[in-house]
Amino acid sequence: MTATDPNRALPLDPSLAPPGTRNFRDAGGIPADRWHADQNGETLVPTHCCFCGVQCGMYLRVDRGGKVFGVEPRNHDINRMRLCPKGINAYQQVNHPDRLTAPLMRRNRDEEFREVSWDEALDHTVAEIRRIQGEYGNDAFGLLGGASLYSEKTYLVGKFARVALKSRHVDYNGRLCMVSAAGANKLAFGIDRAGNPFSDILLTDCLLIAGSNVGECFPVMTQYLWGARDRGATLIVVDPRETAIARTADIHVALKPGTDSAFFNAVLHVVVAEGLTDEAYLAAHAAGWEEVKATVAAYPPARSAEICGVPAEQIVQVARMFAGADRAMAWHARGVEHHSQGVENCLSIINLCVAAGHIGRPGAGYGTITGQGNGQGGREHGQKSDLLPGGRSITNPEHRRQICEIWGIDEAELPPAGTSMMEMVWQMQRKEIRGLVGICNNPFVSLPNYATVKDGYDTLEFHAQFDFFLSETAANAHVVFPVTVWAEDEGVMANAEARVVKHNKAQEPPAGVRTDTWVICELARRLGAGDKFAFPDSRSVFEELRIASAGTVNDYYGITYERLEETGGIAWPCPSTEHPGTPRLFENGRTYHPDGKIHMQVVEWHPPMDPYSEEFPLSLTTGRTVAHFLSGNQTRRLGALVEQTPRPWVEVHPSHGFRNGDPVRVVTRRGSEVFPALVTEAIRPDTVFVPYHWPVPTAANALTIDALDPRSKIPEYKVCAARIEAAERIDEVPAPPTAPGHQAYPETQVSRTDPLPPTSPQGRGTAERS
Amino acid sequence: MMGRTIFIDPGRCIGCQACVSACRECDSHRGKSMIHLDYPDEGHSVASLPTVCMHCEDPVAPCAEVCPADAILVTADGVVQQADTTRCIGCANCVNACPFGVPKIDLQAKLQMKCNLCYDRTAYGLAPMCATVCPTGALFYGTLEELQAERPGVQVADSFTFGSTTVSTGVAMVVPADKVQWPVPGGLPVVEINGRDVR
């Protein structure tokens, strides 16, 4: 039986309840049998996980007193009950003892924080905004949002910056996530999202996963991957490390970090040479194919094999397997996107898909695996420096006019495009930006080149942060606003498939805590723009967002809260309330460019920005572990997750002569840090790996380079030149910062000081402990 | 053949420990996990597999057989329950008897604890918490027919040899098709892994 056998039911067909789940109803509502509700007098609130871009459905268990106290799997068709360890433990942050419950303030960074009233914190912030903007101009005050915010809040962040703050400087931490893929998709297809839903993976014959440790970063997505394998699909994994899914792949291409586009150009070279291109599709739907074909002619397998450090035969095998399949899909993530040529890497994969005709069909297409929960939705409605709501361009006069009309402001008042998150830090260093509000982001851990980031933030005259835990960044601020966690408000997020899902409120926020919506609107009111920010709740913001996106490519107009609750999620574009949404793009062969064509782009490989030398001969690459999420501000406080992965380590190949647990100093041109060695054959001898969720002195991002992709402005996290040497002792992981009067939560301290690497973290495999 | 039970598919395990966290969250063991991950070829392979109670059938649950206090009961549907709190004396005989290394002793409480197949959930027709959440399906709960409907051609084994003793279990393990004919080696000696001599 082949994967394409039409007589075989989909093993993971969402309409078929999986074994053991039939007592649960589908996407919305509560379990049909109210099993828990009857048993314990508790209620189950249907919602989604707050973490990654898969957006698994889950129920939060709420006790009689209205407090969240547990989690129950939910048969939502994204995840069909499955959850990863982060999802299972996520509820623990809702009533965590580290929660901030009062605004914190200090006049300068030498003072201790003191708890103040909301009025005092807001008044001080507004006074500082007025002072800085009065002295240095509106653009001297910036705003940095977050991709873990609901889309309503990201819409508010963009509107607040442009309408209340009147500053061009707004950006968000999704800039560190998938903007390379977004840029490439926009260039090629005129639309910024994945082309296919996850369920299409089940229909494919060949699955190419590039630069994505799916098993650890998006564990629940592996069910689709295995579903495809059950039906006979082949699997190609392109990754410098042998990850859990690479172990089982038909072909694992362990290329040298920073050589992705050289590899994919060579694959396309072979596809052309072997006549595996879909010329009819290219002639009908693609522009620029001849130029691309001419470029890849200069990438024979032998040349790319040398650049990438892989056997040339593998390139030929990948080409035959991918292009020779009836239906093939390519999914990629940060491993190809976090580069100074991140956009080009993505384009080289798109070129391959298009040339082989694998676009716009069930089981054939492309997708990007979004790291952050709302990495997709976070930029769609104006939080990114160059975008207005509905994905409109801030440089397009027609788009500017449309938005000014909706917002009721004069066109001349709308600021021009700003700069990216990392560029804003450089501007802080140069005192071009002197004040900043950060909303639910933690650049002290998440941005590259920590020394620069710290210097930039320390140079700020005023810095306020919104957060629910005192992040490393918030601990350096002047004012901290305690805001709600995801379970204390409702709102929507768009997952990696561009499926919009609704999160529901499960409990009231603790006394002293306000929603981000309330704080933004209150700041706007005090800045004199209250009439433009009269939003009592998320729903009212969403109604304006729907209208603001109507008629654009990112059309949300047909999506309502009620429809989301009924359907369990709708993929945009969805132009009317009768429209079913668009899970799969380009089925009619047309893209979102005015000419309807796919605009193929020429890609030339160039080496990473940090040059190798005798002093720095190795590649340092970074990534995640399954137990932690991004900067770890949330997960490094949850006991079970800390116990699972208490600290970072450095993965080194046995050929370097270290034994497991040895202190190893990793040195780059930015600095050096000491980690315990995790000796494994699962990594290239010329590459070392450090997971990035921890702050200094155990921060991978103290070592990474702040070189940016010129188009997407994503930092080159995934490769920099490094060397390793033996050290005396291992740097200890610091406890997460807490509000004054609070001790570090003891449960998370148990294993934090263990100097050894976790034994076989997440099944990666280690040599024996010394 | 077997009824609704857990099937373990080590080939799918990604070592994420969602099962460990889920077990900690289930109502019957709230706060403690009864699952651990094994790494069969540490240092050379990223392979991992979850270990849950195998709910031995023949001979009837060695842990229950050796219990001097008759604290471990086996229900009619083949579930080997954890020790009865009113009977368990915390002697750890069960720990020593189990060929799979499953039961744990809470020394303070003088109580044995182990996987009871989420009896509070399975009794209601739900899957155990670990198999419900397992992102990859490395832990699957259902009948063999349901498993084979989802995974064409999959083969399982439910007997394991330890030296000269063979143990049949209620929980089954996915194995290569050619290994179904005879019991899976459940214990030492293993002499080679992936063609490498590990003696």
Q: What is the pLDDT of residues A553-572, one digit of tens each?
A: 999 999 999 998 888 889 99
Residues in A touching B40 (Cβ below 8 Å): none
Other beta carbons less than 10 A from residue A16's beta carbon: 15
Query: In the numeric block, which tokens belong to residue B128?
Result: 């155990």
Q: What is the pLDDT of residues B152-196, one digit of tens each?
A: 889 999 999 888 889 999 999 999 888 777 788 776 666 676 677
For position A77, what pLDDT does the model report? 83
For position A744, what pLDDT does the model report? 75
What's the rounded Cα separation, in Å, for the pair A178 and A580?
26
Q: What share of chain A is helix, strand, coil (3-state, %, to 5)?
A: 35, 15, 50
Mean pLDDT of chain A: 91
pLDDT band at A749 (very low <50, low <70, confident <90, very high): low
What's the rounded Cα separation, in Å, for the pair A414 and A130?
18
Domain residue limits at B126: 5-197
Look at the block and give the residue holding tokens 């699962």: A682
- Of the two residues A445 and A647, the one the predictor is more confident about is A445
Contact at CB, A1 and B125, closer than 8 angstroms: no
Sign of the torsion formed by the C-alpha atoms of B86, B89, B92 and B93: negative
If we measure between CA atoms, which residue out of A492, A500, A582, A593 comes closest to residue A200? A582
Is the pLDDT at B23 greater than 50? The verdict is: yes
For position B26, what pLDDT does the model report? 81
For position A26, what pLDDT does the model report? 35
Q: What is the pLDDT of residues A626-639, one digit of tens each?
A: 999 999 999 999 98
Query: In the numeric block, which tokens belong to residue A222?
Result: 């592996």
For position A343, what pLDDT does the model report? 97
What's the rounded Cα separation, in Å, for the pair A326 and A357?
9
Q: Please, which residues bridge with residue B185 across strands?
A: B161
> Quick check: B111 contacting A, CB < 8 Å?
no
Phi, psi of A454 (to 5 degrees): -60, -45
Is the pLDDT at A134 greater than 90? The verdict is: yes
Phi, psi of A350 (to 5 degrees): -60, -45
Kindly provide the ipTM of the predicted complex, given to two decimals.
0.91
Query: In the numeric block, which tokens belong to residue A548?
Result: 């603001």
Is the pLDDT at A28 greater than 50? The verdict is: no
What's the rounded Cα separation, in Å, for the pair A223 and B134?
9
What's the rounded Cα separation, in Å, for the pair A436 and B108?
52
Q: What is the pLDDT of residues A461-474, one digit of tens each?
A: 999 999 999 999 99
Is the pLDDT at B87 greater than 50? The verdict is: yes
Is the pLDDT at A765 greater than 70? The verdict is: no
* Residue B77, domain CATH: 3.30.70.20
Mean pLDDT of B131-151: 92
Contact at CB, B16 and A83, closer than 8 angstroms: no
Number of domains in chain B: 1
Residues in B touching A640 (Cβ below 8 Å): 20-21, 24
Contact at CB, B126 and A20, closer than 8 angstroms: yes
Q: What is the pLDDT of residues A496-518, one digit of tens each?
A: 999 999 999 999 999 999 999 99
Contact A172, A376 (CB under 8 A): no
If we measure between CA atoms, which residue out of A611, A619, A607 comes closest to residue A344? A607
For position A747, what pLDDT does the model report? 65
Is the pLDDT at A401 greater than 90? The verdict is: yes
Q: What is the pLDDT of residues A31-57, one digit of tens each?
A: 444 444 445 567 888 899 999 999 999
Q: Looking at the partner chain, which of B22, B46, B131 has a beta carbon nearest the beta carbon of A244?
A: B46
Residues 43 through 82 of chain B touching chain A, CB cutoff 8 Å: 43-48
Residues 6+ apart with CB under 8 A from A54: A78, A79, A198, A218, A220, A221, A495, A496
Mean pLDDT of A80-103: 94
Q: What is the pLDDT of residues A195-229, one digit of tens each?
A: 999 989 999 999 999 999 999 999 999 999 998 99
Contact at CB, A763 and B15, closer than 8 angstroms: yes
Contact at CB, B151 and A230, closer than 8 angstroms: yes
Give the three-state DSSP class for A509: coil
Mean pLDDT of A313-337: 97
Task: Supply the DSSP string of chain B, one letter for each residue.
Answer: ---SEEEE-GGG-----HHHHHHHHSGGGTT----EEE-TTTTT----EEE----EEETT-HHHHT-TT----B-TTS-BPPPPTTT-----HHHHH-TT---EEETTTTEEE-----HHHHTTTPPPHHHHH-TTSSEEEE-HHHHHHHSTT-EEEEEEEETTEEEEEEEEEEE-GGGTTSPEE-SSPP-EETTEE--
What's the rounded Cα separation, in Å, for the pair A535 and A527?
15
Q: What is the pLDDT of residues A162-192, one digit of tens each?
A: 999 999 999 999 999 989 999 999 999 999 9
If we measure between CA atoms, which residue out of A312, A265, A323 comes closest to residue A292? A265
For position B190, what pLDDT does the model report? 63
Contact B111, B90 (CB under 8 A): yes
**Beta strands at A387-388 and A392-393: parallel, antiparallel or unpaired:** antiparallel
Q: Looking at the partner chain, which of B14, B25, B125 has a beta carbon nearest the beta carbon of A245?
A: B14
Residues in A touching B24 (Cβ below 8 Å): 640
For position B1, what pLDDT does the model report? 47
Interface test with A, best of B46, B134, B139 (most A CBs within 10 A): B46
Contact A366, A331 (CB under 8 A): yes
Contact A50, A485 (CB under 8 A): yes
Mean pLDDT of A529-547: 96
Is the pLDDT at A14 greater than 70? The verdict is: no
For position B189, what pLDDT does the model report? 63
Return the number of CB contacts < 8 Å for A and B: 160
Mean pLDDT of B21-42: 82
Is the pLDDT at A655 greater than 70? The verdict is: yes
If we measure between CA atoms, which residue out of A403, A483, A371, A402 comes closest to residue A437? A483
What is the distance of C-alpha A149 from the center of its chain? Answer: 12
Q: What is the pLDDT of residues B43-67, one digit of tens each?
A: 777 788 899 999 999 888 999 999 9
pLDDT band at A21 (very low <50, low <70, confident <90, very high): very low
For position B165, what pLDDT does the model report? 86
Residues 7 through 46 of chain B touching chain A, CB cutoff 8 Å: 11-18, 20-22, 24-25, 37, 39, 41-46
Q: Looking at the partner chain, which of B124, B131, B149 has a beta carbon nearest the beta carbon of A35?
A: B124
Other beta carbons less than 10 A from residue A427's beta carbon: 20
For position B194, what pLDDT does the model report? 66
pLDDT band at A682 (very low <50, low <70, confident <90, very high): confident
pLDDT band at A265 (very low <50, low <70, confident <90, very high): very high
The winner for highest mean pLDDT among A222-231, A534-543, B9-18 is A534-543
Contact at CB, B127 and A21, closer than 8 angstroms: yes
Residue of chain A minimizing CA distance to B41: A765
Q: What Rg value do the Cα atoms of chain A yield, rounded?
A: 25
For position B188, what pLDDT does the model report? 60
Q: HSE of A4 in the Cβ direction (CA atoms, 13 Å)?
A: 12
